[in-house]
Amino acid sequence: MRAGIGFVIAGLFFAGSAAAQDWQAVERVEPYTVQGATGMEIYQSIGERGPKLGIARVIAHTGFKLTWTRKYERQGNACVITVNKPKLIITYTLPKLKTKLSGPLKIRWDTFISGVTAHEKVHGDFIKDMVKEIEAISVGMTVENDPNCKKIRPQLQARLGELSNAQRARSRDFDQVELNDGGNVHQLILQLVDPR
């Protein structure tokens, strides 16, 4: 990111497998503490304490754990996926301000954290969309001449890889727009550290 701002929000992009329509994602927030008496001090605290993503620290990220209850059934000489139910836990890692603020700085912080949270929730929505897509392609998936349900698994994994890659690309594209100069997150950072 340009303009001297060296760390950014990034979504944690990963994928797994999927299921049936009667599920809900569990969403939780994992806060980390920051402090400061000015916007710049708060931002520097984020830079020092934010979660590590690769080698860099970030303001926030969205991670998830996805597991499946999946049932493969032999039907004649074919194998069919009859049940594919996900358990999805999405974790938003976000800064939590320890310092008590008042006046204009409190308003700027509230705007900043609200915008950062909204940004990460979009990543969460992308993950939920991916799980629904996996569910749609996998329930009822049939592979002929597979009575022992051995051929269906690599075919399913190949499809899951495609959906995972699409979700990652979608998240990267979203971040690129949001984090570029003039983007929503870039503006949130500038308003926090240098209101004019």
What does the pLDDT look like over 103-150, one tens digit per residue? 999 999 999 999 999 999 999 999 999 999 999 999 999 999 999 999
What is this structure's pTM? Answer: 0.83
Sign of CA dihedral 171, 173, 174, 176: positive
pLDDT at 194: 80
Is the CB of residue 66 less than 8 Å from the CB of residue 16? yes
pLDDT at 22: 78
**What's the distance, CA 51 to chain centroid?**
14
Give the type of residue at 49: R
Strand partners, 67: 87
Bigger pLDDT: 180 or 91? 91
First to last CA, the chain: 20
Confidence of residue 196 (pLDDT cuts 50, 70, 90): low
| Whole-number Å distance between alpha carbons of 131 and 101 | 40
- The proportion of the chain whose per-residue pLDDT surpasses 70, expressed as a percent, equals 89
Q: Which residues of 20-56 are buried (b: 16+ CB within 10 A; e: fewer)?
A: eeebebebeeeeeebbbeebeebbebbbeebbebeee
Is the CB of residue 84 less than 8 Å from the CB of residue 142? no
